[in-house]
Chains A and B, each alone.
Chain A
């Protein structure tokens, strides 16, 4: 065994060529997991490693050239683009699924059925830190019950996206809430606390529908919309809390490592089959056609940066 492993060590360069390494957001991690698992069934010699360091950590490793593909639950930031450029890493931006952020309350909460963006801003804005402590302060029609907040941790893409969509500035959220990287635990928290409020990725709500109440969000159209049926997410009816999930693929990896190219093609071709089962929403069919074209053409750079929360996907591929 030692001999074979030392041979493996000598074969390091060749090893790396057949390895595909993915890292990135915890949201969307299950999709990459599903694709990796199915890919391995089809191709048992595949060497795929999937880590979940979060969007920022993943992009950092990506721009350092350590990994081939990064999963992101938000678009790449300007400083990250600059860093990638400084290391000569060109990336191909590919949306692979849609996610809705569900606003959830306890089953016993019968008063908060629809919240406006303004109300959500009042609840979650950094300015409300230690000040807005009761439901009554949010809306005088609500009872005077304590506001117990649960949300993803401040170093997650979900947190970034939600604060950006609601307060118009990323990370501009209050700090006095119960954070977690494990959104399942957020579900448990909200389910166990009568006057709780939280937000989680839609997959976590769907799996626990029997324990939670879903709050509709009043979007710019003035109508209260929910992220289910998931069509609302696909058609962008549930806004601004619908968002695309991406993978950024290193052009260098795609060009020099056949394993990576094969894997990404498999991803784009097949991920729609499993996206629902892991709780996300598949892109509209036209979008998949366009992403495959984009990858085949190897077009780098980001278009989604200019997209505002709520605009249709296909415009930006």
Chain B
């Protein structure tokens, strides 16, 4: 039996040992740089993307009337107001529908649900739904809202489809926020004779609001940026008016897609300018979420 000292790769002297360690450390340093490069590469592409969008679109974005006028067939005239109004309306409806239902579902699962098989099914359901592609939600929306409920290809169909799309993520984040509320708070409340619902509505929910809000904002941000489901539900490419609930509708990502597919060269700039608007909106929302997180958690 060879002893450890007799094996081939065992250093025979202190010098050899040190040399070996230095070599391995050097390789380690190389990899450290590689890992950093990997991290930076993604951010570099992001920076490149933003730079390209700004370069192509800033000029058009700054033209007066871009945000306030209705679209034109000319790439350098008119604006995207109907798309902006549409997207804002869609976002508002999504918030109004998903917050009650999403927080309600999260409350049920965290505070009331017994550990039975049907609860497990609901939970599996939600985590699967979070991974379903948005275009499949579009198919669902088409079948349920356009045809079954008869709303047709209108704003309300698009908004409700986006709501279904956003719901799983809101439920998951709301659950985490509710779960993070310390039990001591609940027990103290019960100890004072407060009923369960009062405890939840007056103590748990207020405490969990920052977390819930963060989840809602991020979800809405994703919904505003989605185009695939709206294409299936029937968003149009051109509106001369600000749509109401039961009109044909558009959205900012649809406007971008529409501009990309138009032939005249100036439309690429219009697309980039619209992207700037959308990114500002998304940035604002995400910034709000980050601010809430910082303010209330640290």
* Chain A interfacial positions (CB closer than 8 Å to B): 5, 8-9, 12, 15-16, 19, 21, 23, 29-30, 33-34, 36-37, 39-40, 46-52, 66, 181-184, 187, 203-204, 207, 274, 278
Query: Considering the chains assembled together, what is the distance between the CA atoms of A49 and B240 in angstroms?
Result: 6
Contact present for A47 and B245 (CB under 8 Å): no
Q: Are B247 and A278 in contact (CB under 8 A)?
A: no
The answer, yes or no, to whether B70 is at the interface (CB within 8 Å) is yes
Identify which of residues 198-240 in chain B touch chain A, using a CB-to-CB cut-off of 8 Å.
234-240
CB <8 Å contact, B263 and A183 = yes
Question: Which residue from B239, B244, B263 sits with its C-beta under 8 Å from A184?
Answer: B263
Question: A181-B261, A184-B262, A207-B263 in contact; A50/B237 too (CB < 8 A)?
Answer: yes
In angstroms, Cα B245 to Cα A47, docked, is 14
The listed residue (A15, A66, A183, A207) touching B152 by CB distance below 8 A is A66
Inter-chain CB contacts under 8 Å: number: 83
Contact residues in A for B238 (Cβ distance below 8 Å)? 33, 36, 49-51
Q: Are B241 and A52 in contact (CB under 8 A)?
A: no
Taken together as a complex, chains A and B put the C-alpha atoms of A52 and B248 apart, in Å, by: 13
CA A26 to CA B171, docked complex, whole Å? 41
CA distance A195 to B280 in the complex (A): 43
Contact across chains for B246 and A48 when beta carbons are under 8 A apart: no
Closest B residue to A21 using CB positions: B248
Report the bound CA distance from A51 to B236 in whole Å. Answer: 5
Q: Which residue of B lies closest to A4 (CB)?
A: B244
Asked if B245 and A5 sit within 8 Å, CB to CB, the answer is yes
| A interface footprint on B238-268 (CB within 8 Å = 1, 0 otherwise) | 1111011111100000000010111110000
Between A and B, 25 residue pairs with Cβ closer than 8 Å are A8-B244, A9-B244, A9-B246, A12-B246, A15-B247, A19-B247, A19-B248, A23-B236, A34-B73, A36-B240, A37-B71, A40-B240, A40-B241, A46-B241, A47-B241, A47-B247, A48-B240, A49-B240, A51-B234, A52-B237, A66-B152, A181-B261, A184-B262, A204-B263, A207-B264
Give A34 to B264 CA distance when docked, in angstroms: 14
Please encode chain B, from 155 to 173, with 1 for each CB lying within 8 Å of some chain A CB and 0 for all others. Answer: 0000000000000000000
Interchain CA distance A181-B236 in the complex, whole Å: 16
Residues in A with CB closer than 8 Å to B240 are: 36-37, 39-40, 46-49
Question: How far is A257 from B225 in the complex, measured between Cα atoms in Å?
Answer: 35
Q: Which residue of A lies closest to B153 (CB)?
A: A66
Interface core residue of B153, B247, B258, B263 (most chain A CB under 10 Å): B263
Residues of B within 8 A of A34 (CB): 73
